[in-house]
Amino acid sequence: MFQAAAIDIENKAEFYRQLAQQLQGLLEGERDMIANAANTSAVMFQMIPDLNWAGFYILRGDELVLGPFQGKPACVRIPVGRGVCGTAVREGTSILVKDVHTFSGHIACDAASRSELVVPVRNGNDIIGVMDLHSPLPSRFDTDHQVGIERLAQIFTAATTF
């Protein structure tokens, strides 16, 4: 069972190293995508300060469909190429948005969200969805957070059968 151990949030590299270790232990032995996405969302939401949403969108054809998450109810379907999540899929890369009000085409599921980080989730070379994090604080995420969340996405992918 997952134990939320104290993690040093002042040193971001160490914080994400410890968080990755905890996530890896939590997902060990479980291969189900929904179970692993649910637990990954919960770990991120509980352990990463200043989030108001953390979860997954799963790619189904030409749209992203809401997957397991923590936070307020969210948009259910997002076309590829729309919003931050759809743009991350279209471009095949992580997107860090310091102020969502400056992102052309941002989809406001929660008006309280001010910054966002979206990381593609891959099965081999194929994008199968995205991990999406929101914060009510502007400029909440930086490249250190991006690298840390990309590592969590890799752990999720390695543990999961698609």
For 7-24, write each residue's pLDDT tens digit: 566 799 999 999 999 999
Ordered strands of the 77-79 beta sheet: 77-79, 63-71, 53-60, 126-135, 115-123, 95-97
Domain residue ranges of the chain, discontinuous segments joined by +: 12-159
- The burial class, CB within 10 Å (0-12 / 13-18 / 19+), for 80 is middle
* C-alpha–C-alpha distance, residues 47 and 35, integer Å: 18
For 76-101, write each residue's pLDDT tens digit: 999 999 999 999 999 999 999 999 99
Model pTM score: 0.93
Instruction: Place domain 12-159 in its CATH homologous superfamily.
Output: GAF domain (3.30.450.40)
